Amino acid sequence: MSGARAVFVDRDGTVNALVPDPETGRPESPLRPGDVVLIPGAAGALRKLAEAGWLVVGVSNQPAAAKGTVSPHRLAEVRARVLELLAAEGARLDDSRVCLHHPEGVVPELTRECECRKPAPGMLLDAAKDLGIDLKRSWMIGDTDSDVLAGKAAGCRTVLIAHQPSAHKRAGSARPDAVAPDLGAAVTLLLSAELVD
Ligand SMILES: [Mg+2]
Ligand SMILES: [Zn+2]
């Protein structure tokens, strides 16, 4: 029996919008629940995947706590807010994984090289083991080269989202299977690619 099909989905810049960092002005992950705004069409896209029988698994790097910028508690509140906004539009994740580590952090217990921080595939591999996912039948969708590299390292196909505010996180060398302007378009593409497989 083959395993389940899953779509691994990045969070910031894929499901919810990036927000300007208060100090640098650069688009970054929201660090307060009130700053969370879903990207139009994202919730509908996740709903469509679920309706088509795909598992949907969130995989997100959240290094701000390791860097001492916010508390892990605040990150958990932001995460809860994303899920709440998705639920309000009838969308949910079957599982979600977060890497809180960073190799150059300041908080000792979160500062290390880990196997879960994308581009490493640890979060995808762990979820696959826990949920019985067949990685070769699965996809990774995200807005940075790291997402594509993590997906490929796990043996998945990949869609890179060309979200404008995160353009600085795409160097053009990651070689995704497809590029889409947003999650809605990525899911449409994925579902049509699966039809011809
Ligand atoms: Mg992202
Ligand atoms: Zn990690």
- Is 10 a catalytic site residue? yes
Number of the ligand closest to the Cα of 60: 1
What is the C-alpha separation between 34 and 36, in angstroms, rounded?
6
Number of the ligand closest to the Cα of 27: 1
Residue 117 lies in a domain: yes
pLDDT on residue 172: 83
What is the C-alpha separation between 133 and 131, in angstroms, rounded?
6
- Is 126 a catalytic site residue? no
CA of 99 to the centre of ligand 2 (A): 4
pLDDT on residue 140: 98
pLDDT on residue 173: 84
Average pLDDT over residues 127-151: 97
pTM (2 decimals)? Answer: 0.95
Residue 79 lies in a domain: yes
Query: What's 39's domain CATH number?
Result: 3.40.50.1000
Neighbours of ion ligand 2 (CB under 5 A): 99, 101, 114, 116-117
Burial of 4 (0-12, 13-18, 19+ CB in 10 A): middle
Q: Which pLDDT tens digit goes with each residue over 90-99?
A: 999 999 999 9
pLDDT at 26 over 70: yes
Domain range enclosing 14? 6-138+147-196
Residue 180 lies in a domain: yes
Average pLDDT over residues 27-39: 95
Residue 174 lies in a domain: yes
What is the C-alpha separation between 138 and 129, in angstroms, rounded?
13
What is the C-alpha separation between 3 and 195, in angstroms, rounded?
18
CA of 195 to the centre of ligand 2 (A): 35
Residue 123 lies in a domain: yes
pLDDT on residue 168: 86
CA of 13 to the centre of ligand 1 (A): 4
Residue 1 lies in a domain: no
CA of 1 to the centre of ligand 2 (A): 31
Instruction: Provide the number of structural domains found in the chain.
Output: 1
